Structure 1
Amino acid sequence: MPVGSTVVITYDGSNNITNSVLFESASFESQLNAQPGTFEVRVKDPNRTLFFETGKELSLTVDGVKLFGGYVTSVERTFPFPVVDTSTINTVDQRQWVLRGVDYNILFDKRVLRDDSNPPDSYLEHFPFFTKDTLDGDLILDLTSDFIDFPAGFTTTGVTNIVPPFDPLNEGTSGEGAWLQQGSLWRAQMQDFAQFSGAVWYIDPNKNLIYRALENSWARWGFSDVPNKQAITTSPATYQHATYGFRELDITEDGSSIVNDAFVWGGSAFGSTDGGTFFWREQNTDSIAEHGLWQFAEAEFGSPLHASQDGVTARARVIVTGDPTSADPANGRGLVYPQYTIRLTWFGHDVPLLSGSPSHLRPGDL
């Protein structure tokens, strides 16, 4: 007989509210690449003893695997029926709470760059410059330690080096790079670095900041309409061709975001006497032949990251191919490819066991 999963929902760190949650009303949604996911849970409070407030953390763990973590942003007190007799308050047992919120990726929009090394004077100064050959991962570590209020309990072990943002083609040219100005959002600085690396970046449910060239979180099993229900093992930690059944499948190919011809300008504005104007056009002829011509243009005059030919070339390549150093790496990255959305449903008791515990899919798994 199938055995159900063990689900734990906690509020404010250690308060287990699982038994009070109406599961048919609970929903948790995670999104990729730092877009904040959302949740909504309805909590019964028959004894009128519970209390919730915004800003507290809420998490979802299934069979020991933390699948969601975030913050309560909305607290609603309600009753399930239009009318409730409250003349005798001690007999009122229908009170409920509705908690809504977002996952940890909201922090990219709720932290600002600042220099509090010597307040108040340091708030009035430009951030210190860094050498152009400084790698993006190292810069992000400096950012989290010195220039934002990085939350306690969060880690940066998922941050890796990909390219120097101010020397994305690794030409080794001398010079300095610059941060965004004080008051900029953390998200804006991450986007500034990632635009030259094509990096995947987000905060996972375990409070770890991720920044890497390609997602490397593998699922050992997948789905098939002819499932083999093969067992999975600890090694290799990649897809093992084990397949399980599903239902309610919907696959959509979306070509609206395809870019196979990118124009990028940088340096000084047209007609300016301040310096040169730089330009690069990146095309993917295979994609044009298959999907037609889909263009995109970006003019970033005055941007330090677009102040050289190397920077403009790298940016155009990242847009089309996802790789700043190659014109056509055919690596499955970049906007040259149509995007796929796959929706399906599977039963928790079908999840294969790994060392005796269900190997649940996690947001970001390949």
Structure 2
Amino acid sequence: MRTTPEATWLTLPQPFLAREAHALGLTSTAIAGAVRRGQLVVPAPQVYAVSAAWSALSPAAAHLGLARAGQVSVAGSVISHATAALLHGLPQPWGPMGSSVCLTARETTRTAATDDWRRVLDGALPPDDVAGVDGVCVTTVARTVVDCLRTLRLRDGLAIADAAVGRGMVTVEELQAVRRRQRRWPGIRTADLGIVLTEGRRESWLESASVATAVALGWPPPMSQVAIHRLDGSFVGRVDLLWGGLGIVGEADGRSKYLGSFDEQWDADRAATFMLRERDRERELESMGLVVARWGTAELRDGGAGLDAVLVRARRRADAARVRCLWRQGQGDELRDWRDLSGGPRVAAHLLPRSRHPGRRNPTW
């Protein structure tokens, strides 16, 4: 029996559909033989890839390869939701990347099973919501963000939205326009809250996820990336989050925040210098009357119980009336007195989740 050379299989997309192989004259018998020999692997039913090429792909690249195959396999579908976010280069939900790719189809009689590699959703797809990226049909950034806000946990949807706005890929006004077309769609209330909380200043998944988690726990929305100055105008530092009404500074200390400060010339002396600078900065912030609360990704587990505990401890020590400093958010903004601090975004009461702590939420937040 003639063996099909690996180079022939590599002329196909990786992975590829059986029908794509057939279009090149490769038979089902040839495919089956290549699978038996270990030349091909089967990532999903009727989907194949060259073993060496498939094993070399990262989880993200493998997911996008399956997404292309999925989009081709379901007529009239486009890549959407979290898979579209990945294709647009936006953050992914926390945790291992699932193998199930997300597609939206205008019309389909197919229902995705829980163990299926394709999650096919029905939904209106006006032309303005569809774009082409790397040769496949995908929902636009605005549609992708709103779909993610509706269907993912708020922490993950907000991280995607913040990144898209922060990189200039979409505006909040464009998100609102998509939302208006999705009236009464599942999860639209969560999307409304996410859009209100979205801004382009947050610099990491952890910062965005921390805001979403804190709000879900009943804390007021904080301001993001606020520059703190001494009363003489000299700069002290820029803080990740600031609860002005409480006098609490929040620092989301993910690994990337620190590893990103070092290049290939990293050494213990530079690390120590960095840590000491952070310590001195925190001491000065506290000397101005602010209370600094720090947490990492682990504190967001279990619904944010760890983050809640950190903020509760900080609030016991905090007194906004004791704070003495100047502040600003934008680089070109004028310095303002602490008493002019207006707080984070205002959220309509009906959008806020019910607090785990009755009486915590201030009606003016």
Tell me, yes or no, whether TM beats 0.5: no
Could you state the TM-score of these two structures normalised by the residue count of structure 1?
0.22
Q: Which has the higher contact order (CA 8 A, sep 6+)?
A: 1
Q: Which has the larger share of strand? A: 1
Could you state the TM-score of these two structures normalised by the residue count of structure 2?
0.22
